[in-house]
Chains A and B, each alone.
Chain A
């Protein structure tokens, strides 16, 4: 249940607001529009029904308001939107706000707004706000001052007067050659703000500066757990058990960018214009492979749920799934205590919550406080078993005392169970032990004293905990990159893009805020400060990028020595069709490693990628150590895939083809055959889109599996960029007109023939 809010914006559109060009930021009206748009956009994004607004303009050519209708005297004031939830139209209106040619009384507009807000909100609980944006250049009838002040105060309305070029003490701004009217009006507004309990006069610059900060909508804190923190068997031994009623609130929660939904561009292009939804529905179908390893669709009601246990599928009765669950009771129980120094933070797994005493209970607050301070003074943490609600899975957590100047709580962090923790060993960083067990004092892996010394200086110099303020601001050195000053650029850019696209559908999406981008880069002042030191570090550290040699990590070099090698198998005959590039692939010097392993199983001798088990054939060919069969294998594999796609009856062979492609791509990337693979993929794409009927479904699978062109980022041999690879995958080729439509009979026989061939 969100608080109800009612906000009225009054914008002065009179002549001085738009005729006078200011030094910065255009006219006063431009600034006012920007300010109101920003405030409204935040409300539209939030999309709350309980947050309603209205828009009034003053100085308009027209007059449209109920007070004038009733009694007159409120000329050139127009209510453009009644009090309602703001939607896109109001934003468009503000964005294109028309200029007015009249000097009208903004105080009258304020009275009108008061009338509207009180009749809308009546005595209901609302947060009521009025924003008045004006340059104060029009005469004001100050007669009703007292009555207005009284109504503002009695209705508990917050009034914000945003003045264009008002004097600002804090910014030290004073407008030169101020008109007499404006001077008087500014004084009047300041008097008004002093008389009202919640009224403030801001300069427009200050307002816009405030509004330019990323806006985070405050979230009403809701407890994630309410219950008792216990130590001991509270049920049976209440006297010797600790029991504290607590509430737990999230302290950090992942904020996510606005969710998007799928939108059909096919509907966009289709002709009939009414009632289009543009929605995208999902349809799911299930397939199993039959004895011939072909995928066959099965109705979903013929399927059972099963869990995999090792190699075994264990079917599960859906009605009986509860048997898997552990019976638990909601609780937070202390298991034991730990020395803070003996609990490394690495076991934290998720976001962190704060444990507070039950709201309103000073008794519980006192008890919790005793525990917090006890833990703090003993430098200890508590370990707890936490069950959020009955029959939920128990979690392990650690409670950490936190005490600041005014606040205290226990932080709760979930920690790793045995299964969540993987123990791996890594070589030490501070010593190198040779094979024979000796510790080596010097080694390229170990830093020298000089390196350590300079690195220490570097760390000191790169401190950002206490950094001299950036130019222009005075005061003490302050911390840079505080968590509360680092906004999630994606979230804010998404919002910005939505607001921008809504008003300007034809423009490209805006770029991220420069300030946020700057945060992701090294501070220029640190670069300046450390230039020399870093040059010295470069000299001694001698870091070199490793240029991956062709095929260095490829299987060819490490070809499995134990694989039975084919002896003399007329491979030369096969290879003679594919002349070897000179020196491209040296044959291993020593192909007789395996003479000790003389058993040769005939089945392992493969010189062709067949269609029965192409992946296995292919792999064996790649691993062949006595002859380089990679190129041949790649070519044959490509042919096999094309064959599968071409001859697949429906989608039967698609899965197999994709499996082949995955292996093919991987091998080509490793073995410096990217060109061959990329050519193949282009052929394949041509086949998918140009054949009759097209095999677009297959290409869709290729997209789904993300089988892209091999990019230069993956292997040096490729001339394709990552972006090109991506575009190639997604792009739909133009319908080729030069393909003549084939005779349907002909196609059918072809397919049939191929199938029988297999």
Chain B
């Protein structure tokens, strides 16, 4: 089976030199494995009725958008780490029939299988202008039992036996809100079969579309069969009525199945009853070019090669078992040896879970306190009952009070502990009430003191004249994008190029010269919007620059009062405070800074510092 070859483990990532202390990378690898070990299976069920084919003023039809979505999702799977997910495409309401149960008006275009470039091209062909659907598959006006549709669905999912498939979903795209208005037998059969699907953990996601004359009424039929899993969990009905573009974005937003990276306890305080469960997700994580694999192409079929690594004792040439291997460090000219268990013990500081240590204002989370991608946390009732309300209370109050939670986190045994900051993010909905950003905590990994690098000396403030600052402002204003950053608009050009070439190679086409690179600045637009303002800035900057050279001493430094930032002006403050006899109002840090500034080694106690400052002013 092809699936088993793609899933076979690959060990080319083994670092030949390094050893196993480097657990961060292990964890990352593990994260990827979690993704790979939890495969998704999605079956597109697309209604092909005449009304679905109706074109709007732009020449688009609901059917058309649906097929495009299927194509782009399949393409995304191909070019992503999800390439081992299963996809299938099924038409309903066709004249022609093709399905394992021979049920009428159901046409299985693509069986549940791994994505493939040829399948994408088949879909693209159907989506193209020239394609005559009526001619190829036919459209029926007959009523066909929806129950049969679900039955075929279950049959198709049954063909997916891989144990690593964890999510099975049907994307049903239709504008028929009441399939069997007059036939109660068919209606109840459909409900029974839909429930059977849900019972066997196959989720039905309904993307509903309004008909020109009537809105899609959920209560007519579909309410009966949706969301039986958890009454209050994610909605499985997505209203995509507004436009086909929304249909597109709605389907894409459902694209990735939820895969948690860890599920761990979150200790809010010590003792019983203050620990809740949380699940962690990677919503943002770098996607790299895939690693190449070794294949064996001699013989009839191309077969993937697996590597096996053996460890050999250099002195005895004997093969080593894991327990024969110890570890050493070069230190002072000798090898200092540790056992694997000892190294493990060094790594394992703390228990698995997240422990709350306290709260700080949001502003304490400085921009440079970042080490890796964040994790998204959501409560997990399956570990602790009451997690959700407790989490919700914490979440709401932290947003109100603008606080972050400082915690220690251990995702699992063997991974180094770290300090993290949890920031509560509110739910964000779009105009139609659909979620854009989910509510929950983002967990940011804080650096250790060991990870901080000082700012080099030439980061000292070089005051620019106020006028230069003012000239930057129109540039900044006129080139601001509205609505903030949306990653969807910026595909990674490196990956785009890589897959372009790979597809060309696979299809034996000529390789394209260039790709569309959305990250390139739009020079024309920049020139048009801010070209003039930049010119003004440049002229002024050159003027100021010549001042810098010719007239260095007299160039007046900008007054600090205009800038919000220059909070600490110790020289001014301290001498004013001294003359006002209010030196004790100054902080220890200010006093120390002032004293070292005038060449006095500051003492450690505040009283002494004041004394030192007084002495200094007295001597002046």
Knowing A285-B308, A304-B294, the reply to whether A264 touches B374 (Cβ < 8 A) is: no
Surface stretch bound by A, among B58-66, B134-142, B176-184, B384-392:
B384-392
Q: Tell me if B296 is interfacial: C-beta within 8 Å of chain A.
A: yes
B55 interface contact, C-beta 8 A:
no
> Which listed residue (A266, A310, A366, A475) contacts B548, Cβ 8 A?
A366
Contact yes or no, B338 A260, CB < 8 A: yes
CA distance A300 to B233 in the complex (A): 52
Within 8 A of A (CB), among B152-173: 154-155, 157-158, 161, 163
Cβ A502 vs Cβ B331 within 8 A: yes
Over the window 28-61 of chain A, the binary record of Cβ atoms lying under 8 Å from chain B Cβ atoms (1 yes, 0 no) is: 0000000000000000110100000000000000
Contact for A561 among B199, B304, B373, B503, CB less than 8 A: B199
CB of B256 within 8 A of CB of A393, answer no
**Is B269 a contact partner of A522 (Cβ separation < 8 A)?**
yes
CA distance A560 to B161 in the complex (A): 12
Check A324/B398 contact, CB under 8 A, given A303-B294, A426-B438, A434-B232.
no
- Whether B489 and A546, one on each chain, are in contact in the complex, defined by CB atoms closer than 8 angstroms, is no
Interface string of B516-541 (1 = CB under 8 A from A): 01011111001100111011011001
A418: contacting residue among B455, B471, B490, CB under 8 A: B490
Is B242 interfacial (CB-CB < 8 Å)? no
A266 to B318, CA, bound (A): 8
A701 and B156 CA atoms in complex are apart in Å by 35
B395 at the interface (CB under 8 A from A): yes
Residues on the A chain within 8 Å of B582, using CB? none
B480: chain A residues within 8 A (beta carbon): 336-339, 380
Q: Nearest chain A CB to B402's CB is how many angstroms away? A: 10
Interface status of A719 (Cβ within 8 A of chain B): no
**A-binding segment of B41-49, B91-99, B125-133, B349-357:** B349-357
Which parts of B463-508 form the interface with A (CB within 8 Å)? 463-465, 468-473, 475-477, 479-481, 483-485, 487-495, 497-499, 501-503, 505-506
Assess whether A383 is interfacial by the CB under 8 Å rule: yes
User: A280–B325 contact, CB under 8 A?
Assistant: yes
For A502, what are the chain B residues with a Cβ–Cβ distance below 8 Å? 331-332, 334, 336
Contact A537 B449 (CB under 8 A): no
Which among A424, A443, A480 has the greatest number of chain B C-beta atoms within 10 A? A424
B8-29: which have CB < 8 Å to A? Answer: 16-22, 24
Chain B positions 317-358 with a Cβ under 8 Å from a chain A Cβ: 318, 320-338, 340, 342-343, 345-347, 349-350, 355-358
Identify 11 residue pairs between A and B in the complex whose beta-carbon atoms are under 8 Å apart, listed by A's number: A267-B315, A278-B315, A300-B294, A309-B506, A311-B113, A315-B295, A335-B522, A418-B490, A425-B253, A425-B435, A543-B275
Q: Say whether A619 faces chain B, with CB atoms less than 8 Å apart.
A: yes
Decide: A543 and B385 in contact? CB cutoff 8 A. yes
**A140 interface hit (Cβ, 8 Å):** no
Q: Which of A44, A287, A509, A517 contacts B338 (CB 8 A)?
A: A509
B454 CB–A CB distance under 8 Å = yes
Residue of B nearest to A362 (CB): B548
Q: Is A534 an interface residue (CB 8 A)?
A: yes
User: Digit string of A605-621 for contact with B (CB within 8 Å is 1, else 0)?
Assistant: 00000000001100100
Closest-CB distance, B522 to chain A (whole angstroms) = 8
Q: Which residues on A sit within 8 Å (CB–CB) of B464?
A: 366-367, 369-370, 373
Is B78 a contact partner of A426 (Cβ separation < 8 A)? Answer: no
Whether the pair A284, B309 counts as a contact (CB closer than 8 A) is: yes
Contacts of B606 in A (CB 8 A): 475
For B305, give its contact among A259, A303, A311, A334 (CB under 8 Å).
A303
- CB <8 Å contact, B537 and A486: no
> How distant is the Cα of A484 from the Cα of B308 in the complex, in angstroms?
44
Residue of A266, A396, A405 touching B567 (CB-CB under 8 A): A405
Q: How far is the CB of A177 from chain B (nearest CB, A)?
A: 28
| Bound complex: CA A396 to CA B189 (Å) | 53
- Out of B368, B392, B425, B468, name the residue touching A445 (CB < 8 Å): B392
Q: Tell me the count of chain A residues lying within 8 A, CB to CB, of chain B.
A: 241
Shortest Cβ gap from A589 to chain B (Å): 13
In the complex, whether A755 has a CB less than 8 A from a CB of chain B is no
Name the residue of chain A whose CB is nearest to the CB of B363: A465
Report how many residues on chain B are interfacial, defined by Cβ distance under 8 Å. Answer: 265
New A-B pairs, 8, CB < 8 Å, besides A284-B307, A303-B294? A262-B325, A288-B304, A339-B484, A347-B284, A367-B468, A367-B541, A489-B417, A543-B274
**Contact indicator A481/B297 (Cβ below 8 Å):** no
| A396-B490 contact given A335-B519, A429-B396, CB 8 Å threshold | yes
B283 touches A242 (CB 8 A): no
Nearest A residue to B257 via CB reads A424
Chain-A contact segment, one of B190-198, B206-214, B611-619: B190-198
> CB-CB < 8 A to B143: which residues of A?
none
- Interface flag for B554 (CB, 8 Å): no
Does B620 sit at the interface, judged by CB under 8 A?
Answer: no
Q: Distance in Å from the Cβ of B110 to the closest Cβ of chain A? A: 12
A416 contacts partner chain B, Cβ-Cβ < 8 Å: yes
Task: Give the 5 A-B residue pairs with the shortest CB-CB distance, closest first.
Answer: A342-B484, A374-B472, A464-B358, A88-B332, A365-B462
Q: Flag if B329 contacts A259 (CB, 8 Å).
A: yes
B444: CB under 8 A from chain A?
Answer: yes
> Quick check: B398 and A338 within 8 Å, CB to CB?
no
Assess whether A270 is interfacial by the CB under 8 Å rule.
Answer: yes
Contact of A413 among B18, B83, B316, B367 (CB under 8 A): B367
Contact A252–B114 (Cβ < 8 Å): no
Tell me which residues across on chain B come within 8 A of A250, comparing CB atoms. Answer: 453
Q: State A261–B17 Cα separation when bound (angstroms).
A: 7
B388 to chain A, nearest CB (A): 4
Q: Which parts of B358-400 form the interface with A (CB within 8 Å)?
A: 358-361, 364-365, 367-374, 376, 378-379, 381-398, 400
Does A498 sit at the interface, judged by CB under 8 A?
A: yes
CB of A120 closer than 8 Å to a CB of B:
no
Interface residues of A in 681-709 (CB under 8 A from B): 696, 700, 703-704
Within A341-381, the residues touching B (CB, 8 Å) are 342-352, 354, 356-357, 359-360, 362-363, 365-371, 373-378, 380
Say if the beta carbon of B452 comes within 8 Å of chain A.
yes
Of A413, A426, A463, chain B has the most CB atoms within 10 Å of the CB of A426
Q: Is the CB of B284 within 8 A of A295?
A: no
A301 to chain B, nearest CB (A): 11
User: Known interface pairs A221-B453, A324-B497, A447-B393. Does A619 touch B462 (Cβ–Cβ under 8 Å)?
Assistant: no
The residues of B that contact A256 with a CB separation of less than 8 Å are 21-22, 24
Minimum CB–CB distance from A706 to chain B (whole Å) comes to: 11
Name the interface residues of A316-341: CB closer than 8 Å to any CB of B: 316, 323-326, 333-339
Task: Name the contact of A487 in the complex, choosing from B298, B387, B449, B493 (C-beta under 8 A).
Answer: B449
Decide yes or no whether A586 CB sits under 8 A from chain B. no
| A277-B284 in contact given A380-B476, A433-B232, A561-B199 (Cβ < 8 Å) | no
Q: Is A240 positioned at the interface, with any CB of B under 8 Å from its CB?
A: yes
- The answer to whether B383 touches A545, judged by C-beta atoms less than 8 angstroms apart, is yes
Contacts of B199 in A (CB 8 A): 558, 561, 593
Closest Cβ–Cβ distance, residue A652 to chain B (whole Å): 13
A281–B338 Cα distance when bound, in Å, is 18
Q: Cβ of B39 < 8 Å from any Cβ of A? A: no
- Find chain A residues with CB under 8 A from B396 CB: 429-430, 447, 452, 455
Q: In this assembly, does B235 line the interface, its C-beta being within 8 Å of a C-beta of chain A?
A: yes
Say which one of A6-14, A152-160, A230-238, A633-641 lies at the interface with B.
A230-238
A374 to chain B, nearest CB (A): 3
Contacting chain B: which of A67-75, A121-129, A523-531? A523-531
Within 8 A of B (CB), among A418-459: 418-430, 432-437, 443-448, 451-452, 455-456, 459
In the complex the two chains form, is A251's CB within 8 Å of B393's CB?
Answer: no
A100 within 8 A of B: no
**Residues of chain A contacted by B530 (CB below 8 angstroms):** 231-232
- B307 pairs with A285, CB closer than 8 A: yes
Asked whether A356 and B459 contact (CB < 8 A) given A44-B332, A443-B232, the answer is yes
- The docked-state distance in angstroms from the alpha carbon of A446 to that of B389 is 5
Tell me, rounded to whole Å, the shortest Cβ–Cβ distance linking B305 to chain A: 4
- Produce 1/0 per residue, A256-286, CB < 8 A to B: 1111111111111010000011111111111
